Amino acid sequence: MIGNGRATIVNQVISQSHLFGTRVYVVAPIATTRETALKRLPFLIAGVMAMAAQAYAQDKPTVQLIATGGTIAMKIDPVKKAPVPAISGDDLMATVPDVAKYAKVEVNNLSNVPSDYMDPVRWTALTKAVEETLKRPEVAGVVVSHGTDTLEETAFWLDTTVKSDKPVILIGAQRNASSSDFDGPRNLLNAVRIAVDGQAKGKGAMLAMNNQINAARYVTKTHTANVETFQSGSYGLIGEVYADKVVIDRAPLRRQHIPIVASQMPRVDIVAMYGGADDRMLRSAVDQGAKGIVVQALGMGNVNMPMFEGIKYALSKGVPVVISTRVHNGRVMANYGFEGGGKTLADAGAIMAGDLTPQKSRILLMLLLQQGKTGKEDIQAAFDL
């Protein structure tokens, strides 16, 4: 008992429970009123259960959780009355003691930022952290917790830059940790189960949310709030997570590895085509130092006459231009022969992005440029893979 002049603190056993066959006692400093102690009880129990669970998991495979932030790491701020970064990877782990049934989980709190802040510098640091972890023989895989806004970009970046047969599983949450139906814990538990499952080897980076598994190349966010926001269009899921097992029934075949060799990524901008667009933004991007341009074109990869002139301007300055599309499914092709149609763009020297979205086309072009590949044939070959 310790008196401090204002309150008396007593260490007492305030709860006991059975966890994995072991009796766990929660021992904590309790204020003189039992009411205060009971308010703290859920947090104390969660922390002790997490520690006990990790002790139980010592003989299991190792998985590292690399926490980067996002809604999955947010709570409602009482002053701003809006979600803000608030919890760490360790806090998230404390919500899912059942992971101990499958793995010993380490936590690397790499950052805690909204995914809107992700950029090539942070992506490069993340690749380094993932590769260093996967090189360790005892590590079965890596789970990356991340915001959903740029989650598909980070997934494709890691799928392209990390060289390992071990799985990299990305997760996020559509509901923050203050929500009664917070989806973060379920996604984390599923991701750990996937990471230690032998079926996940050689599949590259995968996104695991809402009990569904999507390949990094094809997945995209399709709804601002729904928990089933991530979909892969006409390509579909590669697997699902059930209560009794993980099912992966196909493998993503169109993958390539591009190592990071530059200390800084070249600037690549995305310029959107729309009804009535002109070439001012495209020309400005070139004049302001862009080393590559991705055009979010229409249909199979078509633009109007002003944008066509802007594309030819960029190509005349030695700036590669990749043509993608705003359409969700299908691929761009050198098809239409009108001025600004896909055929005329390809004939002028533009690169066709195939089925890659504008944002993923930007990542691929950026990685190719940092390797020194600037010719149309080399770049087109990478997009055709």
Q: Per residue, what are the HEC states of 207-233?
A: EEECCEEEECCCCEECCCCCCCCEECH
**194-211: average pLDDT:** 97
**Domains 62-248 and 268-384 in one fold:** yes
Q: Which residues are annotated as a binding site?
A: 115, 148-149
CATH of 268-384, one of 3.30.70.2860, 3.40.50.1820, 3.40.50.40, 3.40.50.2000: 3.40.50.40
Indicate if the pLDDT at residue 102 is higher than 90. yes
Q: Under DSSP, is residue 156 helix (H, G, I), strand (E, B) or coil?
A: helix
Q: Look up the CATH architecture of domain 62-248.
A: 3-Layer(aba) Sandwich (3.40)
Domain ranges of the chain: 62-248, 268-384
Q: Are 160 and 120 in contact (CB under 8 A)?
A: no
Q: Which residues are annotated as a binding site for substrate?
A: 115, 148-149
Active site residue 148: yes
Residue 78's pLDDT band (cuts 50, 70, 90) = very high
CA separation for the pair 102, 249 (Å, rounded): 21
Check residue 19 and give its pLDDT: 39
End-to-end CA distance of the chain: 70
Both tokens of 67, joined, read 């926490």
Residue 59's pLDDT band (cuts 50, 70, 90) = confident
Check residue 42 and give its pLDDT: 55
CA separation for the pair 294, 369 (Å, rounded): 13
Check residue 52 and give its pLDDT: 58
Active site residue 62: no
Return the amino acid letter for 101: K
Check residue 54 and give its pLDDT: 55
Check residue 258 and give its pLDDT: 98
Q: Which of these is catalytic: 95, 124, 133, 148?
A: 148
pLDDT, one tens digit per residue, over 225-273 is 999 999 999 999 999 999 999 999 999 999 999 999 999 999 999 999 9
pLDDT, one tens digit per residue, over 289-347 is 999 999 999 999 999 999 999 999 999 999 999 999 999 999 999 999 999 999 999 99
Q: Which of these is catalytic: 62, 68, 71, 95?
A: 71
Check residue 45 and give its pLDDT: 59
Within the chain, residue ranges assigned H as helices are: 34-56, 89-94, 120-134, 151-161, 184-195, 280-287, 305-316, 342-348, 358-370, 376-384
